[in-house]
Amino acid sequence: MTETTTAQAPETVTAGATETEMSRERDGEEEEKIRRQKKLEEALEAKSLRRIMSAYLNYPEAAEEDLKKWERSYRKLSPAHKALVPHYALKFQRLRRCISTNSYFIFNMLQSFEPPIDLKSKSMHDSVRGTLNYELQKKDTNDPPPKNHSDDARNNDERYDCDGDHLNHDHGNAHDWLDPSLQTHVPLVDVDKVRCIIRNIVRDWAAEGQRERDQCYKPILDELDSLFPDRQKKSTPPSCLVPGAGLGRLALEISCLGFISQGNEFSYYMMICSSFILNYAQVLNEWTIYPWIHSNCNSLSDNDQLRPVSIPDIHPASAGITEGFSMCGGDFVEVYNESCQAGMWDAVVTCFFIDTAHNIIEYIETISKILKDGGVWINLGPLLYHFADTYGHDNEMSIELSLEDVKRVASQYGFEIEKDRTIETTYTTNPRSMMQNRYYAAFWTMRKKCAITT
């Protein structure tokens, strides 16, 4: 009996040790799988950021190519026809100066990162992520006024200055930014995104965009103001999330109302620009851009097309923000589907956002999840589903619900409509163009019903 017991004991120990080893091996394999997946995601993110930087850096060259195309058409005119528009040749010179000014702004924006981003580094995405997930600190009223960067001062600092087709620099990391491999093979769609950013700057940060902001942002701000009348009396301000925050103006205005405000934006094109304006703008109207120069269509005059726009129309850090204002980069569903986000927000504001989804139901589900019971969802925008016309991408998902169905789905996630109307508005429209695209945007306030406890 003793021998049998002695013989069995080592087998039991061995079996137990084997099971433990197998468990550790499975854990190790899972950890390795996670590590490889993370490494792949980082590589894809770095590649994406490199492509975005290339698009920004390629802006002058792409704009020059368009200009040369216009010049070729002009040269085909007969002498008699050229004589009818003698000023037209001078317009090309003016356009080149406008392109140079826009390029000056872009290169200064890209060089604003501290430390400067090494575009050759494999860990570039870490540097950019740290820069773009930022919190704008409220300016102390005792701080000295911001330094006025005059044109002469800008030419003397360690930023890039673009003069026509030539980029002058004295920064130690210039070779990283000017690496030719970063500026080749830039798809036209990427260059168009840069031009889109320039138009969005007008919407969010120029006096000329005030009319659109009054149409889109003011109804939201008025609604928040009326829904949280006692917010100043509370020890902790109410929290508001702004998915699809773009260049950050709406999220900043919400912060100035007395909310803990966080903007969320997926596009690094947007995040790079918003970071520069929010964190590095030193004075009002510090920069000049020419947002309308990339199209000769529907212009009332050359002067309208080539008119300058000054930005920003406010100094962000001195605007009166509530402590804790921040911007967070990343996909809305991925970032806010974490368990720690459940029931964290008093309000969610979506402006021209919900139709950016592959699956709008997933957006609605996430908004419901992160709102507190009794929290409010304020929305303004159309349903111009961004992935509806992605031809050639058979695996591209796009769920395109009618407005009626969107409201029906929202009710299934616990939302009750309190206000519902239509607002007429434009979006990044040139106010002096002969063509004006208008939306009859849905505007609503929905409240998340409190969970019934038994």
Within-domain flag for 215: yes
* Residue 107 within any structural domain of the chain: yes
Q: What is the pLDDT of residue 45?
A: 73
Please tell me whether the peptide bond between 312 and the residue prior to it is cis, using omega within 30 degrees of 0: yes
- pLDDT value of residue 17: 55
List the one residue out of 248, 241, 438, 259 whose CA is nearest residue 350. 241
Q: Is 62 exposed, middle or buried (0-12, 13-18, 19+ CB in 10 A)?
A: buried
Pairing state of beta strands 134-135 and 166-168? unpaired
Cα(363)–Cα(379) distance, rounded to whole angstroms? 12
Domain containing 427 equals: 196-448
Together in a domain, 113 and 217:
no
- Tell me: do 106 and 227 sit in the same domain: no
Mean pLDDT of 55-78: 95
Provide the pLDDT confidence category of residue 134 given band limits of 50, 70 and 90: low
Q: What is the mean pLDDT of residues 307-315?
A: 98
- Each as own residue / partner, the long-range contacts of residues 421-427 (CB below 8 Å, 24 or more positions apart, any chain) are 423/215, 423/216, 423/219, 423/380, 424/215, 425/212, 425/215, 425/216, 425/380, 426/212, 426/215, 427/203, 427/212, 427/216, 427/352
Shared-domain flag, residues 232 and 336? yes
Domain boundary among 67, 87, 117: 117
Domain check: are 404 and 255 in the same one?
yes
Rounded average pLDDT over 46-59: 86
Mean pLDDT across the chain = 83
421 lies in some domain: yes
Residues 335 and 425 occupy one common structural domain: yes
pLDDT surpassing 50 at residue 285: yes
Is the pLDDT assigned to residue 23 strictly greater than 50?
A: yes
Asked if 247 and 387 sit in the same domain, the reply is yes
State the Cα–Cα distance between residues 118 and 131, nearest whole angstrom: 13
Model confidence, pTM: 0.81
- Please check whether residue 15 lies inside any domain of the structure: no
Token pair for residue 182?
A: 């970063």
**Nearest CA-CA partner of 383 in 410, 363, 357, 364:** 357
List, for residues 393-451, the tens digit of each pLDDT value: 667 899 999 999 999 999 999 999 999 999 999 999 999 999 999 999 999 999 999 87
Question: Does position 141 have pLDDT exceeding 90, yes or no?
Answer: no
> Whose structure tokens read 């570039």?
124
Same domain, 266 and 383: yes
Least confident range of 141-155, 268-282, 389-403: 141-155
Cβ-contact 381, 442 below 8 angstroms: yes
Q: What is the pLDDT of residue 145?
A: 37
In sequence order, what are the residues at sequence separation of 6 or more whose Cβ sits closer than 8 angstroms to the Cβ of residue 388?
Answer: 398, 400
Share of the chain above pLDDT 70, in %: 77
pLDDT digits over 243-266, tens only? 999 999 999 999 999 999 999 999
Question: What is the pLDDT averaged over residues 291-304?
Answer: 96
Q: Give 184 or 204, the one with higher predicted confidence.
A: 204
pLDDT of residue 452: 57
Q: Which residue has the higher pLDDT, 180 or 387?
A: 387
Residue 97: predicted pLDDT = 97
95 lies in the same domain as 214: no
More confident call, 436 vs 139 = 436
Q: Which of 252, 256, 264 is nearest to 237 (CA)?
A: 256
Task: Judge if 437 and 337 occupy the same domain.
Answer: yes
Residue 190 in any domain: the answer is no
Q: What is the pLDDT of residue 424?
A: 98
Residue-level pLDDT at 78: 97
CA–CA dist 320, 90 (Å, integer): 45
Are 105 and 208 found together in one domain? Answer: no
Q: Is the pLDDT score of 12 beyond 50?
A: no
Q: Looking at the predicted structure, is the pLDDT value of residue 159 above 70? A: no
pLDDT, residue 138, reads 54
What is the mean pLDDT of the segment spanning 276-280? 94
Tally of structural domains, the chain: 2
Residues 214 and 348 in one domain: yes
Q: 290 falls in which pLDDT band (50, 70, 90)?
A: very high
CATH number of the domain at 284, please. Answer: 3.40.50.150
Name which of 84-93, 159-168, 360-369 the model is least confident about.
159-168
- β-sheet with 371-381: strand ranges across: 134-135, 326-329, 260-265, 239-243, 345-351, 371-381, 439-448, 415-425
Residue 341 pLDDT more than 80? Answer: yes
113 plus 206 within the same structural domain: no
Residue 295 is predicted with a pLDDT of 93
Q: What is the pLDDT of residue 395?
A: 76
What share of the chain has pLDDT > 90, as a percent? Answer: 66
Please report the pLDDT score of residue 436 as a whole number.
93
**Predicted confidence (pLDDT) per residue in 99-132, tens digit:** 999 999 999 999 886 555 444 443 334 444 444 5
Contacts of 369 (CB under 8 A, 6+ apart): 336, 337, 341, 342, 343
Q: Judge whether 238 lies within some domain.
A: yes
Whether 257 maps to a domain, the answer reads yes
Q: Which residue has the tokens 């996430």?
A: 366
Categorize the per-residue pLDDT at 27 as very low, low, confident or very high, splitting at 50, 70 and 90: confident
Domain boundary among 117, 150, 169: 117
End position of a domain, from candidates 61, 95, 117: 117
Residue 157's pLDDT band, with cuts at 50, 70 and 90, is: very low
Q: Is 403 a member of any domain?
A: yes
Q: At residue 203, does pLDDT exceed 60? A: yes
Q: In the predicted model, what is the mean pLDDT of residues 176-205?
A: 80
Alpha carbon of 157 to those of 150, 152, 168: distances in Å? 11, 9, 12
User: What does the pLDDT look like over 72-105, one tens digit per residue?
Assistant: 999 999 999 999 999 999 999 999 999 999 999 9
